Amino acid sequence: MGRAALSVLEVVRTHAPQATIRLKYPNDIHVKVRDEWCKISGMLVEHEFIGSTCASTVVGIGLNVLQEQGLDTIAQPYTSLFAIGASVDVPTVRRSMRDAFAYRLDSSAESIVLQWEHELLQPQTALRITGESGDWFPRSLLHDGRLTLTDATQQRQRVVSDGDSLQYLD
């Protein structure tokens, strides 16, 4: 997931350098539009295992390039490169995405984890876990990519699991 997320961040930052962008753990990219965070991209990663060995990985990346506002089928705020003022076309974005991802495939796992941590672990970023009370703050990434959080008093820690949905409060 880290390689895909970092690749999309690079592409959005390259084509919309004026935008305020963040990684929403674990698989979305958001852009600040006025006072609201809007989804611009999402990623899915599937692994095929033979025993305990990963035999293959498929990465799916969706990036809104030319989407205009107005769809009522999306239950969250969203945007696109076009909507935030980037002058781009799909072939150019596709090439940028391919190049950014290929670069990260050649990067070490350690450097990817450090970059992903840098993007995710913004201590001032408060969030809520849907269905739970209290504010939480990113603390660290575990070796398996799961995010750990601490509460506002730093008395409790929690690991984000597959069923958790995070809502950023800023």
Question: What are the tens digits of pLDDT across the range 27-45?
Answer: 889 999 988 888 999 988 8
Q: List the 53-63 sheet strands across, edge first.
A: 21-24, 28-33, 36-50, 53-63
Predicted local confidence at residue 41, as pLDDT: 92
Model pLDDT, residue 147: 87
Among candidate residues 140, 115, 129, 119, the one with its CA nearest the CA of residue 168 = 129
| DSSP string for 16-72 | -TTS-EEEETTTEEEEEETTEEEEEEEEEEEEEEETTEEEEEEEEEEE-SSPPS--S
Categorize the per-residue pLDDT at 100 as very low, low, confident or very high, splitting at 50, 70 and 90. Answer: very high
Strand 136-141 and strand 53-63: the pairing is unpaired
Q: Please, what sign has the CA dihedral across residues 128, 77, 161, 144?
A: negative
Comparison of pLDDT for 123 and 26, the residue scoring more: 26
The lowest-confidence range among 52-56, 75-79, 97-101, 148-152 is: 75-79
Cis peptide before 123 (omega within 30 of 0): no
Give pLDDT tens digits for 40-92: 999 888 889 999 998 998 989 999 998 876 666 667 788 999 999 888 899 99
Sign of CA pseudo-dihedral 79, 85, 91, 96: negative
pLDDT confidence of residue 91:
94
Residue with tokens 């939480």: 136
Tell me the backbone φ, ψ of residue 114, rounded to 5 degrees.
Answer: -65, -45
> Beta-carbon neighbour count of residue 3 at 10 Å?
22
What is the structure's pLDDT at 37?
Answer: 87
- Please determine, for residue 14, whether its predicted confidence score (pLDDT) is greater than 70: yes
Give the position of tokens 């597959």: 162
Q: How far apart are CA 53 and CA 37, in angstroms?
A: 38
All domains in the chain, ordered by first residue: 2-120 (3.30.930.10), 123-170 (2.30.30)
pLDDT band (50, 70, 90) for residue 130: confident
Percentage of the chain beyond pLDDT 70 is 96
Burial of 149 (0-12, 13-18, 19+ CB in 10 A): buried
pLDDT for res 123? 66
